[in-house]
Amino acid sequence: MPETIAYLDHAATTPMRPEAVAAMLGFLTERYGNPSGSHSIARQARLALDEAREVVATALGAQPGEVVFTAGGTEADNLAITGVHAAREGARRSHPGQGGTVVCPAAEHHAVLRTCAALGGRLVPALPDATVDLDALADTLGPQTSVVSVMLANNEVGTVTPLAEVAAVVRQQAPDAALHTDAVQAFPWLDVASLAAPADLVAVSAHKFGGPKGVGALVVRAGTSIAPIIHGGGQERDRRSGTHNIAGIVGMAAAMRATVATRDATVQRVAALRDRLADGLLAAVPGAVETGPRRSKVAGNCHLRFPGVESEALVVLLDQEGVCASAGSACASGAMEPSHVLMAMGLPVTEANTSLRLSLGATSSDDDVDRALDVVPKAVAHLAG
């Protein structure tokens, strides 16, 4: 491993915040209680759970009773979509298969796309900036629509969806449908409490903003019915069974509090770093192209294409030189599989396979950008040559 590393894959996961680690430690050692119990050790855990729920609710613009703790963003998305769908099916028991139709745009994360597919849902085309095509959405929705799931910020290219506009279309065309938003990539950068206010369900994941992996939350607004997808002891008011991951939940709450308190300053600082990185690479690499309009992206996203350079090979070479990045394609069965997001944006396969995502986070520094500006142009020139 090279001596110094420029970690530019924060959209995949970001380092734990010290506040989160400190908050968790006691719950990994002496405060080991199960909050469902009825003795003093259990009460200690329940108090911590209640406090964490308050913090998470405030950060997400919800009431504490609307927060359901999950084992991450994937589970939160699954619970939102399958949970509403199943609740509606349950309410119409006399008409099996009448849970309605689930709808999502083609550039969603697989946690949403595959849940939608598993329920026989419908896909809506994306625009060239990866946001949903609102006209196509309006045409797809109808009285049968049960859930519409539209992400707040895209995980690959970083574009932010105007959720209020999506909500207006949904309320107009499918007034009975629930609107879910995957805010997993948005939370580090955007005021999710206000931007996701038009949604009935909101999913977040702790490890994207300095909390631990395997913990997340789903806001289920009062009046939105969901059926559980995990059955058991009835925790989380019967919406998500399983003994609470107290340390993880407390860590997530601490990371959320720290993220919200510093978000404006972080966005300003990181956007400047990202701009220096993107502009520097566009100037240094002949033919380099930026994906999507920068003004509609979250601050940490830098997504570029280097014509003629296969992104998987580039990521391997960058890794050898101490730059951690991510490719817009994956090698499946010996062939390059282009990213479904880039395909949904209408890019040809050959271009999609030349893309590189450099994602910055709260701990990104000028040194990271300097290193990438030094290493990436050389690596691209080497592979192009």
For ligand PLP, the closer of residues 124 and 379 by Cβ is: 124
136's CB contacts (< 8 A; 6+ apart) are: 124, 125
258 part of the interface to ligand PLP, by CB under 6 A: no
Instruction: Give the H/E segment covering residue 135.
Output: helix 134-140
Tracing tokens 């969901």 back to the chain, one arrives at 226
Residue 181 and residue 149 in contact, taking contact as beta carbons nearer than 8 Å: yes
Q: Select the span of 30-38, 49-57, 137-145, 180-188 touching ligand PLP (CB under 6 A).
A: 180-188
For ligand PLP, the closer of residues 27 and 209 by Cβ is: 209
For ligand PLP, the closer of residues 159 and 185 by Cβ is: 185
* Mask for 95-124, x = binds ligand PLP (CB under 6 A): --------------x-x-------------
Q: How far is CA 284 from CA 308, 313, 321, 373, in A?
A: 16, 19, 18, 8
311 part of the interface to ligand PLP, by CB under 6 A: no
CB-based burial, 106-142: b 16+ in 10 Å, e otherwise: bbbbebbbebbeebebebbbbbebbbbbbebbbebbe
How many residues contact ligand PLP, by CB under 6 A?
13
Task: Report the DSSP beta bridge partners of residue 305.
Answer: 289, 355
CB 345, min distance to ligand PLP, A: 16
For ligand PLP, the closer of residues 66 and 182 by Cβ is: 182
74 part of the interface to ligand PLP, by CB under 6 A: yes
Binders in 351-380 for ligand PLP, by CB under 6 A: none
For ligand PLP, the closer of residues 99 and 212 by Cβ is: 212
* Residue 149, SS3 per DSSP: strand
CB 241, min distance to ligand PLP, A: 19
CB 113, min distance to ligand PLP, A: 10
Q: Select the span of 69-77, 191-199, 320-328, 345-353 touching ligand PLP (CB under 6 A).
A: 69-77
The verdict on whether 331 is a catalytic residue reads: yes
How far is Cα 230 from Cα 232, in angstroms, rounded to an integer?
7
φ, ψ dihedrals at 267, nearest 5°: -60, -45
CB 92, min distance to ligand PLP, A: 29
| Chain position whose Cβ is nearest to ligand PLP | 73
With vertex at residue 108, the alpha carbon angle to CA 103 and CA 113, rounded to the nearest 5 degrees, is: 60
Q: Select the span of 2-10, 90-98, 133-141, 179-187 touching ligand PLP (CB under 6 A).
A: 179-187
CB 182, min distance to ligand PLP, A: 5
216 part of the interface to ligand PLP, by CB under 6 A: yes
Residue among 241, 132, 242, 126 at smallest CA distance from 180: 132
CB 155, min distance to ligand PLP, A: 3
* Mask for 314-333, x = binds ligand PLP (CB under 6 A): --------------------
CB 77, min distance to ligand PLP, A: 6
For ligand PLP, the closer of residues 330 and 384 by Cβ is: 330
How far is Cα 216 from Cα 67, in angstroms, rounded to an integer?
10
Q: In terms of DSSP bridges, do strands 178-182 and 201-205 run parallel, antiparallel, or are they unpaired?
A: parallel
For 203-242, the three-class secondary structure string (H helix, E strand, C coil) is EEEHHHCCCCCCCEEEEECCCCCCCCCCCCCCCCCCCCCC
The single residue among 33, 35, 61, 73 that binds ligand PLP, judged by CB under 6 A, is 73
**Burial of residue 196, with CB atoms counted within 10 A of its CB: 0-12 exposed, 13-18 middle, 19 or more buried:** buried
The single residue among 185, 224, 259, 326 that binds ligand PLP, judged by CB under 6 A, is 185
What would the two tokens of residue 54 be? Answer: 């308050």
How far is Cα 131 from Cα 150, in angstroms, rounded to an integer?
9
Q: Select the span of 20-28, 73-81, 233-241, 269-277 touching ligand PLP (CB under 6 A).
A: 73-81
Q: Select the span of 66-74, 258-266, 294-302, 320-328 touching ligand PLP (CB under 6 A).
A: 66-74
Q: How many CB atoms lie within 10 A of CB 175?
A: 10
Name the residues that contact ligand PLP, by CB under 6 A.
72-74, 77, 109, 111, 151, 155, 182, 184-185, 205, 216
Residues with a known catalytic role: 331
